[in-house]
Amino acid sequence: MRPEEIKLYCLSKWKAYEDHPFGDTPICYKLNKKVFAQVYPNPEDYKVTLKCTADAGQFYRQAYPGVVVRGYHCPPVQQPYWNTIDLKDFPDEELLNMIDHAYDTVLRSFSKKVQKQLLTVDEVIIRAMKPEEYPMLGDFLYDAIYIPEGEAPPREIICQPELAVYIENFGRPDDWCLVAESEGHILGAVWTRILAGAVKGYGNIDESTPEFAISVSKKFRRQGIGSRLMKEMTRLLREKGYIKVSLSVNKENYAYRMYQKLGFEAVPEECGKGGQKEEPEDYVMVLYLNSP
């Protein structure tokens, strides 16, 4: 991965910025004055040093011996909390994971009060998702999966047919997507499509009703962004002439109450997907768009 690509990825983090406190090198990337990444772009000695927890640091050093080492420029007491990576043959995907971890480690190092201040969104723009942004729907679909505390399914779960149907070949007729953007960052997305083919959506009720999927990045939830996305999408669907819209939500998901406030109503459980007779884990909910 080239230095410019690392720069763009670091700067894609919320409120991250570039700084040069030590001269031309290293190039530092900070959050609220704390460094989470240092890049040494010299082609002869191409390295990056990243913040980490002690456990994660040890894991990566064991996984990539000699390639990932303790932060060589750091005082001994700080070395367990920094990793220096030789980037000549290092996997790009793993590097992105380590940058994610470095940023999150610095974010969590602040008090909860400061974290809340950093993650508070002052201004949000709701706009249509651009076709070149459709690949982001995979990340939002994964984040939309309701995961009980302590569980984390592999990301490959979104490739299963019953989930992949929500995003495959997005951009067909009856596909609509809006995103919430702030300071150039996409914080959430809501999209709808009619899922009445061979593989039906979890919230499918008939062959003409679009089904909602919505996801707001975990760091930015509970700030009203999801509600704004939903309201804008229902307005759009009304303009397009749809009669109603449906969704599926886990019974333990706090979002259920948000959907109720927006006018969604749970349908009788036997009317849901497959006419299940057993007690389902999800509610199927419907909003009639011609309602006041």
- The whole-number average pLDDT for the span 37-50 is 89
Is pLDDT at 290 greater than 60 in this prediction?
yes
Q: Which of 117, 144, 177 is the last residue of a domain?
A: 117
CATH of the domain at 255: 3.40.630.30
Same-domain pairing of 200 and 273: yes
Same-domain pairing of 125 and 40: no
Is pLDDT at 144 greater than 90 in this prediction?
no
* DSSP string over the chain: --HHHHHHHHHTSTTEEEE-TTSSSSEEEEETTEEEEEEE--GGG-EEEEE--HHHHHHHHHHSBTTEEE-TTS-TTTGGGEEEEE-TT--HHHHHHHHHHHHHHHHHTS-HHHHHHHH--S--EEEEPPGGGGGGHHHHHHHHS---TT----GGGGGSHHHHTTTTT--STT-EEEEEEETTEEEEEEEEE--BSSSB-TT--SSS--EEEEEE-GGG-SSSHHHHHHHHHHHHHHHHT--EEEEEEETT-THHHHHHHTT-EEPPGGGSGGG--S--SEEEEEEETT--
Q: Name the residue with higher pLDDT: 116 or 24.
A: 116
pLDDT of residue 277: 47
Lowest mean pLDDT among 8-17, 235-244, 247-256: 247-256
State the average pLDDT for the chain: 90
Chain segment 248-266, per-residue pLDDT in tens: 998 888 888 889 999 999 9
Chain segment 131-140, per-residue pLDDT in tens: 999 999 999 9
Is pLDDT at 221 greater than 70 in this prediction?
yes
pLDDT of residue 210: 96
Same-domain pairing of 68 and 19: yes
Chain segment 69-101, per-residue pLDDT in tens: 998 777 788 888 999 999 888 999 999 999 999
Is pLDDT at 155 greater than 90 in this prediction?
no
Same-domain pairing of 130 and 19: no
pLDDT of residue 150: 59
pLDDT of residue 276: 47
Same-domain pairing of 65 and 147: no
pLDDT of residue 172: 94
CATH of the domain at 31: 3.90.1150.30
Residue 6: band (very low, low, confident or very high) from pLDDT cuts 50, 70, 90: very high
- The whole-number average pLDDT for the span 147-161 is 78
Count of domains forming the chain:
2
Is pLDDT at 67 greater than 60 in this prediction?
yes
Chain segment 274-288, per-residue pLDDT in tens: 444 455 678 899 999
Q: Which of 70, 89, 117 is the last residue of a domain?
A: 117
Is pLDDT at 27 greater than 60 in this prediction?
yes
Is pLDDT at 200 greater than 80 in this prediction?
yes
User: Residue 32's domain spans which residues?
Assistant: 3-117
Same-domain pairing of 23 and 45: yes
Same-domain pairing of 110 and 136: no
